[in-house]
Amino acid sequence: MADDYELLMIPGPTNLPDQVREALGRPQISHRVSKFKGLVGRISEGLQALLMTSQPVLTLTSSSTGAMEAAIVNLLSPDDPVICVDTGKFGNRLGKIAEVYGARVHWLKVERGHGVSEAELGEACAIIRPKAVLMVQNETATGVSQNVAALSEIARSYKALSVVDAVSSLGGYPLQMDLWGLDAVIAGSQKTLMLPPGLGFVAFSERAWEAAAESKMPKFYFDLTKARNSLEKGGETPYTPNTSLFVALEVVLNLIWEEGLEQRWERHHRLARATRAAMQALGLSLFAAEDVLSDTVTSVTSPVASGELTKRVREEHQIIIAGGQDELKDKIFRIGHMGTCQLEQVRQTVQAVAAVLIDMGYACDPAAAVKAAEEAY
């Protein structure tokens, strides 16, 4: 392992498997030759299986925020009323993007650490009659997982499109795009998918493609109709893609099938259980409400300033965990347990967090926490 290796226990970017690092170092290939086109075709099919959809999944060379922007500008027109389920930094971002492009955004602000209730969304839809409901499946900022199957059903009952950010959940816990009737699903490369940042994914339902044909928001790089046409022409992309990441993505998809998607969901669930149990054994409270706990990121109410805690865990143990953002700065810390993560990494993180907490004057029992993690796993 390189000298500067640090264990990433943040909610993305995550640690890279050796096979991905090897793939990233391969010689460059041209994106206009049949070899690459074949690869794009295989990736596209793999992503369809991952999202559980028969619709094309478009791979964009951009971070996930680019994929969020692409979804919005291709579905909506200026002045369209939309509801943004504002669960935290990322739920909020979808609304901000829509606002920049001139949509009339109605903010459904949700208490931090909670998800929106179906009743609240239904009431808001009845009043606003939105063209779309914007929401995250996994609010990374608070460690909250929302039931997007139920929420999208409510949106649909008001003829609204459901736009779902699955950036920090796809591949870590269940998402069934077609079965759940999701209209737009957005994801990214650097979370559970074990790749570096730099790829965004978007898929639209048939209803969403119909809306795209009418959409009047401006777009050029993120014109998804163009991207779809290129893909269907035989594995092309409209502009030069990040070829290395495409190569590595195929490796990742194969690793996922080798493990098994359901087994992978199960591993993430067990890692989440282990992390939660360990934190509670340290005497700490989970920040997210019990009914919405995320399987990919655990947020914990911090008994000390979390900025100092995360800094010391990094400097003294070479493990990176995340603090709170915006209004949660210094109040919570977050542990990402996704991608390559195994119980051993949770164990190391629990020990490091406990050691620094003790040093900062908080009394706790690291051994009991590790034992709790092992038992819960």
CA distance to 6, 53, 214, 222, per residue, from 140 (Å): 21, 24, 32, 24
Nearest to 75 by CA among 253, 168, 210, 178: 210
Nearer to ligand PLP, 210 or 326 (CB): 326
**Nearest-angstrom CA–CA distance, 201 and 205:** 14
Residue type (1 letter), 273: R
* 168 binds ligand PLP per the rule CB under 6 A: yes
Is the C-alpha dihedral spanning 265, 271, 275, 281 positive or negative? Answer: positive
- Can you tell me which of 17, 41, 81, 197 binds ligand PLP, judged by CB under 6 A? 197
Which residue is listed with tokens 């099919």? Answer: 45
- Binding of residue 61 to ligand PLP (CB under 6 A): no
142 binds ligand PLP (CB under 6 A): no
**3-state SS class at 141:** coil
138-139 and 144-145 as β-strands: parallel, antiparallel, unpaired?
antiparallel
Spatial contact of 84 and 107, defined as CB atoms under 8 Å apart:
yes
Contact (CB, 8 A) for 282 and 301:
no
Convert residues 169-188 into a mask of x (bound to ligand PLP by CB under 6 A) and - (unbound).
Answer: -------------------x
Nearest CA among 282, 286, 267 for reference residue 343? 267
Would you say 189 or 349 has its CB closer to ligand PLP? 189
Residue 90 in the binding site for ligand PLP (CB under 6 A): yes
Near ligand PLP by CB under 6 A: residue from 14, 74, 87, 140: 140
Which residues make Cβ contacts (< 8 Å) with residue 256, sequence separation at least 6?
50, 171, 264
Q: Which is nearer to ligand PLP, 90 or 204 (CB)?
A: 90
Closest CA to 137 of 181, 169, 111, 90: 169
Considering the complex, state which of residue 53 and residue 64 has its C-beta at the smaller distance from ligand PLP: 64
Indicate whether 325 belongs to the interface with ligand PLP (CB under 6 A).
Answer: no
Q: Is 162 in the site for ligand PLP (CB under 6 A)?
A: no
For ligand PLP, give the closer residue by CB, 199 or 376.
199
Burial class (CB in 10 A: 0-12, 13-18, 19+), 101: middle
203 binds ligand PLP (CB under 6 A): no
Q: Which two tokens stand for residue 206?
A: 């048939």
Of 137 and 275, which has the nearer Cβ to ligand PLP?
A: 137
C-beta of 65 vs 340, nearer to ligand PLP: 65
- Piece of 132-140, 201-209, 242-250, 299-307 that binds ligand PLP (CB under 6 A): 132-140
Peptide bond into 78 cis (omega under 30): no
> With respect to ligand PLP, which residue has the nearer C-beta, 171 or 366?
171
- Give the number of residues in contact with ligand PLP, rule: CB under 6 A: 14
Taking the complex as a whole, the smallest distance from the CB of residue 358 to ligand PLP amounts, in Å, to: 30
Return the number of other C-beta atoms located less than 10 Å from residue 217's C-beta: 20
* Part in contact with ligand PLP (CB under 6 A); list of ranges 22-30, 101-109, 136-144, 230-238: 136-144
Specify the stretch interacting with ligand PLP by CB under 6 A; choose among 58-66, 111-119, 280-288, 305-313: 58-66
Q: Which stretch binds ligand PLP (CB under 6 A): 42-50, 69-77, 163-171, 340-348?
A: 163-171
146 binds ligand PLP (CB under 6 A): no
Single-letter code of the amino acid located at 235: G
167 binds ligand PLP (CB under 6 A): yes
CB atoms under 10 Å from CB of 316, counted, come to 12
How far apart are the C-alpha atoms of 303 and 221, rounded to whole Å?
A: 45
Stretch that binds ligand PLP, among 142-150, 151-159, 162-170, 368-376 (CB under 6 A): 162-170
Give me 246's structure tokens: 């495409």
x-or-dash pattern for ligand PLP, window 6-45, by CB under 6 A?
A: -----xx---------------------------------
* Smaller CB separation from ligand PLP, 63 or 280: 63
Angle ∠(72,77,82) on CA atoms, nearest 5 = 65
Q: Which residues bind ligand PLP (CB under 6 A)?
A: 11-12, 63-65, 90, 136, 138, 140, 165, 167-168, 188, 197
